C-alpha cells in the first residue's frame, strides 16, 4: 500500500539545518514530490516544526533517515495517508 502523505513532528537546532536545506533533503527522499515545513515553536536551542510530505509512494524509512542525517529529529508521525488514492481527514462532530 503506497504512502501518499505524512505529517511529521520534527525538531531541529536553531542553527542547523536551516529550513531550506531540510526541505531540499526531504524532497530528495524516494517517493517525495512535495514538502511543506511550518515552524510551530521556537525556544533557546530548538525549533519545532510540522513537516507535511506528499508523493505517490513515499519510502518512510529512507525519509526518516534523510531527516536524521541533517541532525534533525523525527518525534512522531502525526498523520498518514496511504492507499490507491488520497482520503482527506474529516473531523467528527460531537
58-79 confidence digits (pLDDT tens): 999 999 999 999 999 999 999 9
Closest CA relative to residue 53, chosen from 81, 85, 84, 76: 81
**Is 3.30.70.1340 the CATH number for 3-82?**
yes
Round the average pLDDT of the chain to a whole number and report it: 94
Q: What tens digit of pLDDT does each residue of 9-20 get?
A: 999 999 889 999
> What pTM was computed for the model?
0.89
Contacts of 20 (CB under 8 A, 6+ apart): none
Report domain extents, the chain: 3-82
Helices (H), the chain: 19-27, 60-69
Amino acid at each position: 500500500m503506497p504512502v501518499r502523505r505524512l505529517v511529521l513532528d520534527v525538531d531541529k537546532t536553531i542553527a542547523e539545518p536551516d529550513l531550506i536545506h531540510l526541505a531540499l533533503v526531504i524532497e530528495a527522499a524516494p517517493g517525495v514530490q512535495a514538502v511543506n515545513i511550518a515552524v510551530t515553536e521556537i525556544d533557546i536551542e530548538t525549533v519545532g516544526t510540522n513537516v507535511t510530505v506528499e508523493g505517490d509512494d513515499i519510502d518512510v524509512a529512507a525519509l526518516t533517515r534523510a531527516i536524521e542525517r541533517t541532525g534533525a529529529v523525527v518525534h512522531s508521525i502525526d498523520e498518514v495517508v496511504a492507499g490507491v488514492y488520497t482520503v482527506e481527514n474529516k473531523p467528527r462532530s460531537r
